[in-house]
Structure 1
């Protein structure tokens, strides 16, 4: 029987710390801190709700992060 894969570790990082930053700066910082995927979305975007370890999501309005969350 195959073993269950171990999900990748996530950075010990608080997503709230990205709120208010310029989107390009926030994305650079997130990648430097170890996030494997960074997704920027417009307000109200329709997205899938599956959880992806190592992914950080940004809701961006007028070039600034207004919300950030894992997965």
Structure 2
């Protein structure tokens, strides 16, 4: 039987800190803080709800982050 993979560690970071930043700066900051994947989404986007460790999601309205969550 194959071993169960260990998920990557997530940065100890507060997603609320990205709200209000412009999307480009927020993505750069997230990468520098260790997030392996950053996903920018328009408001109301239909997405799958699987949790992916190390991913940070941004809801972006008119170039600004209006919501941010892990996974």
Q: Partners of 1:2 and 1:48 in 2: how far apart?
A: 27
Moved segments of 4+, more than 4 Å? none
Match of 2:36 in 1: 36
RMSD: 0.6
SS at match of 2:66: strand
Instruction: Report how many aligned residue pairs link the two structures.
Output: 71
How far 1:4 sits from its partner (Å)? 1.2
- Unmatched 5+ stretches in structure 1: none
Q: TM-score, normalised by structure 2?
A: 0.97
TM-score by length of 1: 0.97
CA separation in 2, counterparts of 1:2 and 1:37? 26
